Amino acid sequence: MTGGPDRDGDSNETLDRYNRIASRIADISAGRTELLAVSKTVEVERMLSLVEAGVRAFGENYASELMEKAVDSRLSGVQWHMIGPLQRRSIPKFAIHTSVVQSVGRLVELDALAKASFSGEIYLQVDCAVGGQRNGFLAREVESALRHALSLGKNPVGLMTVAPNIDRDGRRRAFAEVASVAGDLGLMKLSMGMSDDYEDAIEFGSTLVRLGRSIFGERPSK
């Protein structure tokens, strides 16, 4: 990796933060929860210290950014997770580069993934915001969405949610609700928890947490 002292120092700090958080997650989850590094708006150069250390799972929110990074030879071997809102027309383009789509929140997106012959893992996103203000299925809609996916030959592995931006008790209630829905439907994986609430999410059974800011620091707006 090239770069002056500032870049090298930043890379070392990024890797140190990742390792500290990964160790903390392993401790509090008894090894049951994986860490996904969310790299949206993060330059490739800032990701390389993690890649060189063996980190292979990264999450992206924007299809265009995921596709641009996926063809960068320096990131060869990375398993890309799409975690942002989907645009149906972009699904065939990014699906060929993507190992996991976590943010399926509409039936038409399941249709598009099936049409694109996507063979990776699928999570159904659950909207826990009051009044259904985020992307995703309402909790009461998840069972129907699961049946639709199965009818298309797609077998979702779990549920994903973004906790509502309210108080801690509200976020914990959201995690509990999603975990309950997953349990009722026999879905084994839960993608819950971000930089501010991942420890609470792990308490409620999250098997994967999505951390960006706590690894890479504050980002510029896109």
User: Using 50, 70 and 90 to split pLDDT, how confident is the model at 11?
Assistant: confident
pLDDT for 190:
98
Look up residue 199 and give its two tokens: 């420890």
The predicted pLDDT at position 3 comes to 37
Nearest C-alpha neighbor of 126 from the set 82, 95, 151, 159: 159
The pLDDT of residue 219 is 72
**Residue 220: pLDDT band with limits 50, 70, 90:** low
For tokens 């990024």, the residue is 14
Q: What is the tens place of the pLDDT at every residue in 106-141?
A: 999 999 999 999 999 999 999 998 655 668 999 999
Q: Which helix (H) or strand (E) holds 36?
A: strand 34-38
Condensed to tens digits (0 to 9), the pLDDT of residues 174-219 reads: 999 999 999 999 999 999 999 999 999 999 999 999 999 999 998 7
- Position 1 pLDDT exceeds 60: no
Q: Tell me if 62 sits within 8 A of 42, measured CB to CB.
A: no
Task: Convert the pLDDT of each residue in 21-56 to its tens digit.
Answer: 999 999 999 999 999 999 999 999 999 999 999 999
In this predicted structure, what is the pLDDT of residue 6?
40
Q: Output the six-digit token pair for 141.
A: 């809609």
Is residue 17 within 8 A of residue 35, CB to CB? The reply is no
Does residue 8 register a pLDDT over 80? Answer: no
Domain ranges of the chain: 5-213
Contact (CB, 8 A) for 118 and 101: yes
126, 91 Cβ separation under 8 angstroms: no
CATH number for the region 5-213 comes to: 3.20.20.10
